[in-house]
Amino acid sequence: MKITGKADLIYDGKSIQIESTNTLIGRYVGSELLSGLDNTFLGVEAGKKVASGSRNTFLGAYAGENALGNNNVFIGYSAGINEIGDDKLYISNTASSSPLIFGDFRAGMVRINDYLNVTKDLTVDRSALIKSNLSVEGSHSAYSMTINSPLPSLTFYTQQNQYTHRFYSHPSLDIFYLEDDENTNVLEIKNGELRLPEYGGTGTSNLSVDNNGKLIKTSSDQLIFNRYEFAEKDVFSNYTRLRHGVHFENGTILTGIKALIKDNNETGSSGVHNTAFVGVYRMNKITGNENSILPIYRIDASDTPLDVHQLFTQTTLAQTGANIIDNDTYIYFLQVFYCDLCSITEVEILK
């Protein structure tokens, strides 16, 4: 059977043949087509304004409705509806200019504008531009990868979906970070400088490199002063007062003090002769005197069970800004008072 029209339509019982290089199915499909060739438009008003464009494939109602170009592939409702360029790929179910999948055949580029989940092996031989999340379960081989985001990041998980490490960048600060599973920055790169934040402010935490190139710390994070530096009794009949000088690098920030204290106060008196306290203090190295010594952090121990040491902690700052070490102006020291029935076993300054 042959139907004569703008292009002859022939049906032989097996196939429908259109004696034109364009295949147009739907209301107002390609209605302005004049000289374009080899187009396939399917759906209401698909390719409606294409006049001279060729080799386009539009599938879906209103797909490429306002398109004018050549060699485009638009799939889905309103996909590429306002794209007037050439060699573009749109896979979408809306008129969005950022479809779920966008491609540029001429540039050899495809872009996923939402979450991509790959459950098998993924091999990327060219550049990959990802503007949202990429999740890969399996092996991944990539020549290069570009992550376009205000705060781009790359996160690693175990097979049990446990978070392990994350690389991320803060472009406005020009800092690249490595974060561990406790959400702590363990490495920073800024302006070509390598920084290890967990050692920041700890001037005594010296680092060295072992035979495998591993950075190792050669001193502890905190300074601990133990009982062998504090006498149990002194020449005074009722209480002991001792001081021990401490030193930190300039700019170190102290965050508190801990102490193991036995405060066998039998009378319940709060006087110095019947209790124990310990503090980290500072004094102006030029003008300071006994009346100007003020604590930075201080623990006033409460009564403990007879002959039992308890751990006390103080993190409340006594003087604003006093916990920032300034060796040019001040000297720093521990000071303890305790009665004959009391004892301070260990003091730890927190940084």
3-state class (DSSP) for residue 351: coil
Give residue 228's pLDDT.
Answer: 44
Q: Quick one: 125 and 77 in the same domain?
A: no
Q: Quick one: 37 and 126 in the same domain?
A: no
Q: Quick one: 230 and 341 in the same domain?
A: yes
Number of domains in the chain: 3
Burial of 180 (0-12, 13-18, 19+ CB in 10 A): middle
Instruction: Provide φ and ψ at 291, rounded to 5°.
Output: -80, -10
Domain boundary among 167, 182, 213: 213
State how far the Cα of 287 lies from the Cα of 2, in Å rounded to an integer. Answer: 112
Question: Is the residue at 218 inside a domain?
Answer: no
What range does the domain containing 44 cover? Answer: 1-113
Convert the pLDDT of each residue in 260-319 to its tens digit. Answer: 988 876 655 555 545 788 999 999 988 888 788 889 999 988 888 888 889 999 999 998
Confidence of residue 39 (pLDDT cuts 50, 70, 90): very high
3-state class (DSSP) for residue 291: helix
Q: Is the dihedral of CA 323, 325, 329, 331 positive or negative?
A: positive
Give residue 224's pLDDT.
Answer: 58
pLDDT of 205 over the 70 cut: no
Q: Quick one: 102 and 135 in the same domain?
A: no
Question: Is the residue at 230 inside a domain?
Answer: yes
**Per the structure block, which two tokens stand in for 19?**
């004696």
Instruction: Provide φ and ψ at 284, rounded to 5°.
Output: -60, 125
Q: Quick one: 195 and 311 in the same domain?
A: no
Identify the residue with better confidence: 244 or 209: 244
Question: Is the residue at 80 inside a domain?
Answer: yes
DSSP states of 149-165 = SSS-EEEEE-TT--EEE
Question: Is the residue at 273 inside a domain?
Answer: yes
3-state class (DSSP) for residue 319: coil
Q: Which residue has the tokens 């050899």?
A: 108
Q: Which residue has the tokens 């000289």?
A: 35
Q: Quick one: 228 and 343 in the same domain?
A: yes
Q: Quick one: 232 and 340 in the same domain?
A: yes
Question: Is the residue at 23 inside a domain?
Answer: yes
Domain boundary among 213, 237, 255: 213
> Length of the chain, please?
351
Mean pLDDT of the region 111-135: 79
3-state class (DSSP) for residue 172: helix
Identify the residue with better confidence: 48 or 149: 48
State how far the Cα of 221 lies from the Cα of 106, in Å rounded to an integer. Answer: 57
Question: Is the residue at 92 inside a domain?
Answer: yes
